[in-house]
Structure 1
Amino acid sequence: MIDVLVFLFQNYYDFRTHPAPDALVKKLSAAGFDPDEISLALDWLDELKSARPADFVGDPRATRVYTVDEQARLGPDGLDFVLFLAAAGVVTPPLRELILDRAMSLDDDPVPLDKLKIIVLMVLWSQEQDLEPLIVEELLNTPDDVPLH
C-alpha cells in the first residue's frame, strides 16, 4: 500500500489532479501494483480526504499526551519523529492528529518509521501544505535494503 501512495505522490504532485478512481485503478494496475494493495491505498486515501484537521482549541505550546496504544503502535522512533516535526513547525497540532489517525489505521504494529514518514508526506500533500524539497527528500528517503511493505 505504501508503494502505491508514493507512486501517486510522485506522479500527481497536486493532490487534486489524479484521475477518477476507475482510471486511477487502471493506471496503477498497468504500473504493476497488486489489486489488493491498490484497493487498500485508495481506501486509505479516501479516508484521509474525508478527514479534516480538528479545530485546535487551546495553547499551541501544550504537551500532547500519547495513549498507551499510540505509544505501542508508533514506538519510540515514531513518537520522536512526530515530536520533532511538531517542534520544528512542520506540522501543526491538527495535522499531527491527522498523522496519528492515519498511522493508527494501519495494520502494522509497530508502524515502521519509514511508513510513518510516508504517512506524514501523504497528510501534508492532502492538505496542500507547502512541501519544502528537503522535507520531501527526508520523508521519501528510505534505506535501499529496507522494504516499505
Structure 2
Amino acid sequence: MFDILMYLFENYIHSDMEVVVNHDELTDELTRAGFHRQEIHKALAWLERLADLQESETKPYLNRSPNSATRVYTTEEVARLDVQSRGFLLYLENLGVLDFTTREMVVDRVMELDTPQFSLDDLKWVILMVLFNVPGHEDAYDQMEGLLFEEPEGLLH
C-alpha cells in the first residue's frame, strides 16, 4: 500500500501537472503498473481519509491547539513509530515545520498504513503528503521538502 502512495505522490501529487483522474482510470493505471487492486483501494481510501482530516467534524481534537503540551504516544503508536521517528516529529515541531494539528494528522495517517515495517524515511514521506494536503502549510511543506532532498555538504564522519 505504501508503494502505491509513493507512486501516486511522485507521479501525480508532487508533479506540477494538474491532472484530474477518476478512480477507475487510476485503478486501471495502477493495475497496469503491477499493483494489486485490493492494495490500490486501500491506498485510495487512505488518501481520501487524509483529505477528510481537514474537516473539523472528522477529528474534533485537531481544532484544539495547546500552547504547551507533551505528546504521550499510545502503545500502538510506539510500536509503529520508533524512538528515532518520534524524535524526528519533535524536531520538526521545534523547527515549526509541524504544529499540533499537522503532527496529529501525521500520526493518524501513519497508524492507518497497512504495512508491516515502517521506517524514518517512510515517516518523512507521510509528513510530505500531509503537509502538501493541508492548505496554508506551503512554507512548512517547502521546508520539509528541503530537509528530505537536501544533500549534506562537506565530509560526513
Coarse TM-score class (shorter-chain normalised): 0.7 to 0.9
Q: Cα 1:6–1:137, aligned 2, differ >3 Å: closer, same or farther?
A: farther
Alpha-carbon separation, structure 1, partners of 2:41 and 2:149: 22
| Aligned twin of 1:42 | 44
Superimposed CA distance per residue, residues 100-140 of structure 1 (whole angstroms, 9 cap, x where no aligned partner): 111112244663222222211211122143232x6326447
Whether the 8 Å contact between 2:92 and 2:98 is mirrored in structure 1 is yes
Q: Cα 1:34–1:110, aligned 2, differ >3 Å: closer, same or farther?
A: closer
Alpha-carbon separation, structure 1, partners of 2:111 and 2:82: 12
Q: Which has the larger radius of gyration?
A: 2
Q: Cα 1:140–1:31, aligned 2, differ >3 Å: closer, same or farther?
A: farther
Given candidates 126, 144, 148, the residue that maps to 2:133 is 126
Given candidates 73, 80, 84, the residue that maps to 2:80 is 73
Q: Can you give the 5+ residue segments of structure 2 that lack an aligned partner in the other structure?
A: 57-61, 151-157
Whether the 8 Å contact between 1:103 and 1:116 is mirrored in structure 2 is yes
CA-based RMSD of the aligned residues comes to 2.6
Deviation of residue 76 (structure 1)? 0.5
Alpha-carbon separation, structure 2, partners of 1:136 and 1:57: 24
Alpha-carbon separation, structure 2, partners of 1:69 and 1:19: 35
| Aligned twin of 2:65 | 57
Q: Can you give the 5+ residue segments of structure 1 that lack an aligned partner in the other structure?
A: 142-149
